Amino acid sequence: MYAILETGGKQYTVKAGDVIYVEKLDVEADSTITFDKVLAVGEEGNVSFGAPYVAGAAVDGKVIKNGKGKKITVLTYRPKKDSKRKMGHRQPYTKVEITAINAAK
């Protein structure tokens, strides 16, 4: 069974046992979380779509850790003006392991 869920403005296709990196959530490590914005739930030949979400469907997950991604360097400059600025950025994320997919009954 698989599900398509929405969190942090992005959509993820998940199965039980998958590990996904989502936008940072306000939860502690080793806690459980339930995603209720499920766009579709299905298995082989039987898929149900929501409008926009499937009523009663939920995806359960376990938060493994909160962290930051690798640093990216942003360099802005103006040619021939001797003006430049160097910045770094590390995007925060939450690592979640999907434990169960609950389809609508």
pLDDT tens-place string over residues 23-57? 999 999 999 999 999 999 998 889 999 999 999 99
Provide the whole-model pTM. Answer: 0.85
Number of domains within the chain:
1
Contact present, 4 and 39 (Cβ < 8 Å): yes
Q: Is the per-residue pLDDT at 80 higher than 90?
A: yes
Secondary structure (DSSP) of 46-72: EEEE-SSS-TT-EEEEEEEEEEE---E
Mean pLDDT of the chain: 95
Q: Is the pLDDT of residue 104 over 70?
A: yes
**pLDDT > 70? residue 105:** no
For 30, other C-beta atoms within 10 Å of its C-beta total 9
* 53-72 average pLDDT score: 96
Domain with 87, as residue range(s), is 2-102
